[in-house]
Amino acid sequence: MDKLLNDLMAIVGTEGMLLGEDVSQRSVDWFTGAPCRAKAIVRPRSTEQLSQVLALCYQADQPVVTHGGMTGIVHGGEAAPDELVISLERMNRIEEVDPVGSTIQVQAGVTLQHVQEAAEEIDMQFPLDLGARGSCTIGGNIATNAGGIRVIRYGMMRQQVLGLEAVLSDGTVVSSLNKMLKNNAGYDLKQLFIGSEGTLGIVTRAVLRLQPRMPSEQTALVAVPSFDALTQLLGLVSHELGLSAFEALWNNHYKLMTTESGKHMPLLADDSPFYAIIETLGLDETRDAEYFSQILQKALEAGLITDAVLANSSSQRQGIWAIREDIEVLVKELKPMFSYDVSLPIPHMEAYVETLEQDLEAQWPETGKMVVFGHLGDGNLHIMITVRDDSPESRRQVEQLVYSPLKEYGGSVSAEHGIGLEKRDYLNISRSSEEIALMKRMKIALDPKGLLNPGKVVALD
Amino acid sequence: MDKLLNDLMAIVGTEGMLLGEDVSQRSVDWFTGAPCRAKAIVRPRSTEQLSQVLALCYQADQPVVTHGGMTGIVHGGEAAPDELVISLERMNRIEEVDPVGSTIQVQAGVTLQHVQEAAEEIDMQFPLDLGARGSCTIGGNIATNAGGIRVIRYGMMRQQVLGLEAVLSDGTVVSSLNKMLKNNAGYDLKQLFIGSEGTLGIVTRAVLRLQPRMPSEQTALVAVPSFDALTQLLGLVSHELGLSAFEALWNNHYKLMTTESGKHMPLLADDSPFYAIIETLGLDETRDAEYFSQILQKALEAGLITDAVLANSSSQRQGIWAIREDIEVLVKELKPMFSYDVSLPIPHMEAYVETLEQDLEAQWPETGKMVVFGHLGDGNLHIMITVRDDSPESRRQVEQLVYSPLKEYGGSVSAEHGIGLEKRDYLNISRSSEEIALMKRMKIALDPKGLLNPGKVVALD
């Protein structure tokens, strides 16, 4: 073992350092199961330990890659054999829950679900929510500015963070554990670390904002006859309801998840061009349920939906959401799968998806298959494609089909998943050369040796 | 006229350059009317002109101070005789209003009120709102991360900005006019410019998010018997109503604005220790009004309020809000006035204000007078103090009284007004030395010559 690893072990202890098979048995990509290739995984117990670890790495010019819950899908956690992984998995404490100030202070390695549960224990809620809730960590949610299913009501992770603590590449601890809703005392430094994917600093702790719990939850799956009806439906429910989620499913997605794979019950017939999952949160179960079904009735009469199923129990609710959230079915059915996460203005969406479908059919008439779903209200689509071949050339060709049209629409190659390694070469579709130059300038200012998650997001020349 | 001014005039034209009395007749401080001392005011018409102006200033090492609507109160617009002022006043166009995407794209010099009106024309709303709406500009709102009266519902200016364009100190235009709700394609560069008070770049254009208009507006002024009742009342209405504003007025504020100054009608007797203005926004006037008065009735029965007046017309509503928003009465009655804008956790507020009042009384028994009001739900208090003397020593002494206790409470010396020059020496009460060092690092990275709003927010050594 080299001297640096020895010195690091002196800081974190033997429990805090994984080597050999303990490293390679871990995967850096849950789609493919690709193994971690780093020379070691360092697992600090505290901000102080991490600070000492990074100070040593800085002296030794040792690049590091930070690991959270490893649920990302843009290769942000990939590590080369000469890189060290820093995992925050042993920093998973909930430090303080404050019902009066409506805040929770946690270490970065805690899972999203633990935070949600801690909020529920004091009759509040932590509103960020996504399918990976049981594995993904708050540090990862912050580093990637996670989105999920309730952005339409509560915003992305950036909106949930009141304060944070991060360690810079040289080991400097910048602690901004602000609990105030309003604080204009100088630059809002936390914004630097939110969404920068571990390239500007490593997030160690955070103060998050809690929201009043909404005891009444209404959920429906509806069949929608056209894209135009889908957007009108969104308009109707946005104005009339306490909307917390509006998830659109294209027919290809709904059919694969239900009748084609046989994995989920087809709660509605599978021949509708679109489906939507509508969820509202409120305070009064009886009143909200009545109002919810009135609005759906109105939508039915206006021809915006052709059929609907309302959840009457939490197991029915879970049944509806499982159709949307069970990504494992997609991974299996569309193997090898390419996953995309784009945003574009709603008026362009229908044509964009149709063109993409035609292009795919033209280039891969036998093997091409895609499914589309997403957070319609946020302008965010998830597109899963297979051509039954994951050679680099095929991947490139499919990427071209998916990303090229976005430039014209002012869309984004990454709505919520981030850039990582996977989308770095496409960053210029959504960002100008001046923007990318400014990103590099920030990277150099905060991480002058380029040691934090090297090559991710922006490559320094 | 020196060569630089000549060259600048060639870019912006004679209309675009103010000199001599046209400069000194302008005030940089609306409390005191202090004149602008800059050697010239440059008024570009476009981003391109501003880019050329800044490129020349960069070559000539010419420092610049940016002016928006000049409603700030932390001396952020103060300019020395060797500095140039850049005013965005001729860049005041609304470029696009998009009802489908719910966005508005504007130049930085447009007033907040014009944006609000443009949103109303398409039956939507731009929710940021503050007393200076008729004068303050969107560029200033962004540069200072403005707050105001509806933060509790819609967040601060940062939450309203989807995209922006800024010019760096060397003239580089960084255009990030994103319209997507979700865009994780690389670092979120706009965050650098929001709230950095013109020290990292000059904001030229922005894409703002619009919200559905809420046609039903309920407003009440209530008398509250204790601070404890005030916080309980906030809890009650937060949970039960579509709360959009909760403004607390201490007795000293209410009394001065009504019976003492004779400027506003005392809608309720002036002997209650606290008052609150409660506003809700909703969709159904009849239903909301009924529900609103039910909740107030509940508060009355629970002893959380002792009296209430509900606005029955828009003029009554304005009458209630005028008590809160008519800052000119305060400026006149408390002349010379020191103005503070702090945030701290609600549980510490009552003791903080009481101690401050006692300290003031002890040090200035004859002349000391203070009034307190603010956005209680945001933890934000505005404190206006006079000791009938604005010597630097008196100012320092009062500042010590106001700011020193905040460190212990984890409070902020600036909730929404920013730092400017006025609070720079107190930044270390709310921020650690590591945080301030990181702010300086960002300043050096983005403005290496220190030409943008020099000395504001953080001083480079």
- Structure tokens given for A460: 């320094």
C-alpha–C-alpha distance, residues A189 and A181, integer Å: 15
How many helices (H) and strands (E) in chain A?
17, 18
The answer to whether residues B38 and B81 touch, using CB atoms and an 8 Å cutoff, is: yes
Q: Contact A283/B240, CB-based, under 8 Å?
A: yes
Nearest CA in chain A to B191: A191
Strands B124-125 and A202-209, how do they pair? Answer: unpaired
Q: Which residues contact B207 (CB under 8 A, 6 or more apart)?
A: B103, B104, B105, B161, B162, B163, B164, B177, B178, B179
Count of domains for chain B? 4
Task: Let me know whether A120 and A84 are in one domain.
Answer: no
Is there a domain that residue A160 lies in? yes
Strands B173-176 and A94-98, how do they pair? Answer: unpaired
C-alpha–C-alpha distance, residues B325 and B64, integer Å: 32
Q: What's the gap in Å between the CA of A46 and the closest CA on chain B? A: 18
Is there a domain that residue B157 lies in? yes
Domain-ending residue, one of B328, B351, B380: B328
Q: What's the gap in Å between the CA of A225 and the closest CA on chain B? A: 20
CATH number at residue B176: 3.30.465.10
Task: Let me know whether A349 and A317 are in one domain.
Answer: no
Give the single-character DSSP code of B36: P
Q: Would you state the pLDDT for residue A1?
A: 67
- Extract the runs of DSSP E, i.e. beta strands, from B314-425: 338-343, 369-375, 380-386
Q: Would you state the pLDDT for residue A101?
A: 85
The phi and psi torsions of B401 (rounded to 5 degrees) equal -60, -40
Q: Does B252 touch chain A (CB under 8 A)?
A: no
Q: Contact B195/A179, CB-based, under 8 Å?
A: no
- Extract the runs of DSSP E, i.e. beta strands, from B83-172: 84-87, 94-98, 103-107, 124-125, 161-167
- Structure tokens given for A144: 């990637």
Domain-ending residue, one of B328, B346, B371: B328
Is there a domain that residue A460 lies in? no
Closest partner residue to A434 (CB to CB) among B172, B187, B411 is B172
C-alpha–C-alpha distance, residues B454 and B448, integer Å: 11
- Structure tokens given for A117: 């549960």
Closest partner residue to A191 (CB to CB) among B185, B191, B430 is B191
Q: Would you state the pLDDT for residue B67?
A: 97
Task: Let me know whether B382 and B437 are in one domain.
Answer: yes
Domain-ending residue, one of B293, B328, B363: B328
Task: Let me know whether A99 and A205 are in one domain.
Answer: yes
Chain A residues whose CB is inside 8 A of the B446 CB are 441
Task: Let me know whether B225 and B323 are in one domain.
Answer: yes
Residue pLDDT, tens place only, B9-55: 999 999 999 999 999 999 999 888 899 999 999 999 999 999 999 99
Chain A residues whose CB is inside 8 A of the B182 CB are 147, 151, 156, 343, 375, 378-380, 412, 415-416
The answer to whether residues B246 and B237 touch, using CB atoms and an 8 Å cutoff, is: yes
Residue linked to tokens 């309920």: B218
List B residues 99-138 in contact with A (Cβ-Cβ < 8 A). Answer: 100-101
Which residue out of B51, B73, B187, B200 would a mutagenesis test of the A interface target, given it has the greatest number of A Cβ atoms within 10 Å?
B187
Task: Let me know whether B275 and B374 are in one domain.
Answer: no
Residue B254 has pLDDT above 80, yes or no: yes
Residues in chain A: 461
Q: Does A343 touch chain B (CB under 8 A)?
A: yes
Q: Contact A423/B185, CB-based, under 8 Å?
A: yes
Where are the alpha helices (H) located in B227-284, listed in sequence order? 227-240, 251-255
Q: What's the gap in Å between the CA of A457 and the closest CA on chain B? A: 6
Is there a domain that residue A306 lies in? yes
Q: Does A196 touch chain B (CB under 8 A)?
A: yes
Q: Contact B412/A182, CB-based, under 8 Å?
A: yes
Q: Would you state the pLDDT for residue B323?
A: 96
Residue B357 has pLDDT above 90, yes or no: yes
List B residues 84-103 in contact with A (Cβ-Cβ < 8 A). Answer: 100-101
List A residues 373-392 in contact with B (Cβ-Cβ < 8 A). Answer: 375, 377-380
Nearest CA in chain B to A238: B212
Q: What's the gap in Å between the CA of A417 and the closest CA on chain B? A: 7
Task: Let me know whether B301 and B397 are in one domain.
Answer: no
Task: Let me know whether B52 and B14 are in one domain.
Answer: yes
Task: Let me know whether A353 and A312 are in one domain.
Answer: no
B45, containing H or E segment = none
Is there a domain that residue B448 lies in? no
Q: Contact A185/B431, CB-based, under 8 Å?
A: yes
How many residue pairs from chains A and B have C-beta atoms closer than 8 A?
225
Q: Contact A182/B347, CB-based, under 8 Å?
A: no
Q: Cα–chain-centroid distance for residue A100? A: 29
CA distances from B304 to A21, B274, B288, B300, B409 (A): 64, 11, 21, 6, 26
| SS3 at position B61 | coil
Q: What's the whole-number mean pLDDT along residues B213-222?
A: 94
Q: Torsion-angle region of residue B64: left (phi > 0), alpha (psi -120 to 50) or beta?
A: beta
Q: What's the gap in Å between the CA of A200 and the closest CA on chain B? A: 10
Q: Contact A412/B182, CB-based, under 8 Å?
A: yes
Residue pLDDT, tens place only, B272-330: 999 999 999 988 899 899 999 999 999 999 999 999 999 999 999 999 999 999 999 99
Task: Let me know whether B381 and B354 are in one domain.
Answer: yes
Residue pLDDT, tens place only, A194-253: 999 999 999 999 999 999 888 899 999 999 999 999 999 998 998 777 899 999 999 999
Q: Contact A178/B410, CB-based, under 8 Å?
A: yes
The answer to whether residues B270 and B251 touch, using CB atoms and an 8 Å cutoff, is: yes
CA distances from B270 to A62, B206, B259, B274, B357 (A): 67, 44, 7, 9, 19
Chain A residues whose CB is inside 8 A of the B144 CB are 184
Q: Would you state the pLDDT for residue B30?
A: 83
CATH number at residue B324: 3.30.70.2190
CATH number at residue A399: 3.30.70.2740
Write out residues in chain A with pLDDT < 70, as ranges. Answer: 1, 461
Residue pLDDT, tens place only, B315-345: 999 999 999 999 999 999 999 999 999 999 9
Query: What residues form DSSP beta bridges with B384?
Result: B339, B371
Task: Let me know whether A99 and A198 are in one domain.
Answer: yes
Give the single-character DSSP code of B148: B
Task: Let me know whether B58 and B100 are in one domain.
Answer: no
Query: What residues form DSSP beta bridges with B307?
Result: B223
- Structure tokens given for A322: 């499982």
Is there a domain that residue B362 lies in? yes
Chain A residues whose CB is inside 8 A of the B172 CB are 434, 437-438
Q: Which residues contact A109 (CB under 8 A, 6 or more apart)?
A: A68, A87, A88, A89, A90, A91, A92, A137, A138, A139
Domain that holds residue A74: 3-89
Q: What's the gap in Å between the CA of B152 and the closest CA on chain A? A: 9
Q: Contact B427/A185, CB-based, under 8 Å?
A: yes
Closest partner residue to B345 (CB to CB) among A101, A186, A379 is A101
Does the predicted interface ipTM exceed a cut of 0.85?
yes
Is there a domain that residue B449 lies in? no
Q: Contact B431/A158, CB-based, under 8 Å?
A: no
Nearest CA in chain B to A377: B181
CATH number at residue A66: 3.30.43.10
The answer to whether residues A460 and A450 touch, using CB atoms and an 8 Å cutoff, is: yes
Residue B206 has pLDDT above 90, yes or no: yes
B184 closest CA partner among A437, A406, A344, A417: A417
Q: Does B214 touch chain A (CB under 8 A)?
A: no
Is there a domain that residue B409 lies in? yes
Q: Contact A441/B438, CB-based, under 8 Å?
A: no
List A residues 14-53 in contact with B (Cβ-Cβ < 8 A). Answer: none
The answer to whether residues A388 and A316 touch, using CB atoms and an 8 Å cutoff, is: no
B72, containing H or E segment = none
